[in-house]
């Protein structure tokens, strides 16, 4: 469970560090036109097994295979398309006049993105981070092939309750219930930002 919490939390932060500037560049500066965002989300809907071998050999090359940091890196890259897609929706709701006003006051592109746009998108960023963290927390395929005993995540550990001759349903149910606790706590703690982000722009 600790490995899952570390991987999901750190990967969500890493995903936002990549997706937020990307969404800003696409929405405000039309980087890549309309094709880049469509290509990104198109890559996400492809079967995950396609990326399994490239990520496996990449982690093996850099020496991060069978480790939580390596799995965190994979998750951070995997969730960039869905985070980009979600953040673009939030960016569309922020008036571009804010950027123009910041430019008139002498703010550059980076200053506008960090000091002007970022504070207005905090609810959307929190909602995106929670969604990416939950996707990571529940992921099984990459965790199964890229972890060992010390770096296993919760979904892999739950699968091991089923043996060749018998399945420990009671222990599996108990472990599953315990695994829901961190997610429930996170949702309750960030509920205000989560609801605010998911409902942003629904009413004027």
pLDDT in tens, 22-34: 999 999 988 887 7
| DSSP-assigned letter for residue 31 | T
Could you tell me which of 181, 161, 163 has the C-alpha nearest to residue 171?
161
- Asked which of 49-58, 76-85, 191-200 is least confident by mean pLDDT, the reply is 191-200
Separation between Cα atoms, residue 5 and residue 134, nearest integer Å: 10
Question: What is the mean pLDDT of the segment spanning 34-55?
Answer: 85
Regarding the domain delimited by 2-198, which CATH topology (the fold level of the hierarchy) does it fall under? MetI-like fold (1.10.3720)
Task: pLDDT band for 200, please (50, 70, 90 cuts).
Answer: low
Q: Is the pLDDT of residue 202 over 70?
A: no
pTM for the model stands at 0.87
**Helix boundaries (H) for the chain:** 2-29, 33-44, 52-62, 68-78, 80-92, 97-104, 109-111, 118-120, 122-137, 141-146, 154-159, 169-189, 191-198
Q: Is the pLDDT of residue 198 over 70?
A: no
| Averaged pLDDT score across all residues of the chain | 88
What is the domain partition of the chain in residue ranges? Answer: 2-198
* C-alpha 178: how far from chain center: 22
Q: Is the pLDDT of residue 204 over 50?
A: no
């Amino acid at each position: 469970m600790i490995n899952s919490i570390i991987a999901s939390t750190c990967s969500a932060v890493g995903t936002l560090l990549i997706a937020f500037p990307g969404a800003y560049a696409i929405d405000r500066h039309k980087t890549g036109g309309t094709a880049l965002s469509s290509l990104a989300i198109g890559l996400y809907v492809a079967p995950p097994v396609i990326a399994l071998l490239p990520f496996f050999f990449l982690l093996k090359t850099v020496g991060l295979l069978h480790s939580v940091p390596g799995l965190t890196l994979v998750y951070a890259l995997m969730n960039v398309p869905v985070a980009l897609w979600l953040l673009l929706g939030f960016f569309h709701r922020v008036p571009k006049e804010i950027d123009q006003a910041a430019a008139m006051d002498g703010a550059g592109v980076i200053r506008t993105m960090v000091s002007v746009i970022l504070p207005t998108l905090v609810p959307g960023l929190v909602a995106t981070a929670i969604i990416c963290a939950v996707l990571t927390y529940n992921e099984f395929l990459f965790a199964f092939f890229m972890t060992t005993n010390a770096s296993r995540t919760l979904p892999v550990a739950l699968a091991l309750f089923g043996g060749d001759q018998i399945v420990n349903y009671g222990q599996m149910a108990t472990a599953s219930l315990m695994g829901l606790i961190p997610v429930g706590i996170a949702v309750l703690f960030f509920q205000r930002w989560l609801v605010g982000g998911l409902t942003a722009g629904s009413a004027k």
